[in-house]
């Protein structure tokens, strides 16, 4: 979608009395949608899923971007404390069951947020994975809510052209070879022959955490 189309759609949602929110992982490619939203309505809350396993650089970058764009950040943390996120043998869950680890640290906390709003403005792009390519711009989600995917037809070239045009900051780990950045234990640097999402959960045949598979209809 073009920026004027995004603005028009958000205005329509608000005219209908719908409550809107967005989420962000505060990676470099996340910044254009945040900038666009800050220009349209910077009061739309930005939920930041703070799993407790994030790179410290990501948390610092979140603060930098929030200050620059005047965003309203809501820090969202898991319901289950870390000492309970262990297998019977004492190992942390991300080492043996990354799907369940993602569920309790990311998907489960988002369920209560989704139940409290009408529209989730989500920056997924179709070029990121097969799952996302199959999505639609508007899609029903649990709790009678709507997922709005305004960046679905954007690609990396358009993302970085926008960043350059508006002189937006980049995640500090970009320069170290990290392209898709999630939790520190499950993120590695990207090899030249990898697709973007393959740097996450490397070797586990996993490219989605559940936010875009479980929380969608």
CB 140 within 8 A of CB 147: yes
| Tokens encoding 129 | 């994975």
Q: What is the dihedral of CA 153, 157, 160, 161, to 10 degrees?
A: -100
Please state, in angstroms and rounded to a whole number, the distance separating the CA atoms of residues 211 and 217.
12
Beta strand pairing call for 46-49 and 20-23:
parallel
Sign of CA dihedral 54, 187, 108, 136: positive
Reported as type and span, the H/E element at residue 35 is helix 31-41
Burial class (CB in 10 A: 0-12, 13-18, 19+), 17: exposed
Burial of 63 (0-12, 13-18, 19+ CB in 10 A): exposed
Catalytic residue from among 102, 183, 186, 209: 209
Detail the DSSP E strand segments found in 9-152. Answer: 20-23, 46-49, 73-76, 119-121, 138-141, 145-148
Active site residue 209: yes
Q: Which residues does the annotation mark as catalytic?
A: 209
């Amino acid at each position: 979608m073009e920026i004027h189309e995004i603005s028009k759609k958000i205005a329509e949602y608000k005219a209908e009395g719908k409550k809107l929110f967005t989420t962000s992982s505060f990676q470099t490619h996340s910044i254009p949608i945040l900038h666009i939203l800050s220009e349209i309505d910077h009061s739309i809350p930005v939920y930041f899923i703070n799993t407790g396993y994030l790179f410290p650089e990501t948390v610092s970058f979140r603060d930098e971007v929030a200050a620059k764009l005047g965003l309203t950040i809501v820090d969202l943390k898991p319901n289950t404390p870390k000492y309970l996120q262990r297998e019977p043998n004492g190992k942390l869950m991300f080492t043996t069951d990354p799907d369940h680890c993602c569920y309790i640290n990311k998907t489960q906390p988002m369920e209560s947020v989704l139940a409290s709003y009408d529209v989730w403005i989500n920056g997924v792009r179709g070029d990121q994975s097969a799952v996302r390519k199959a999505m639609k711009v508007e899609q029903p989600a649990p709790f009678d809510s709507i997922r709005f995917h305004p960046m679905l037809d954007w690609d990396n070239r358009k993302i970085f052209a926008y960043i350059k045009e508006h002189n937006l900051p980049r995640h500090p780990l970009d320069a170290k070879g990290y392209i898709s950045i999630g939790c520190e234990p499950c993120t590695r640097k990207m090899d030249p022959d990898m697709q973007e999402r393959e740097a996450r959960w490397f070797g586990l045949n996993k490219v989605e955490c559940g936010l875009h598979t479980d929380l969608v209809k």
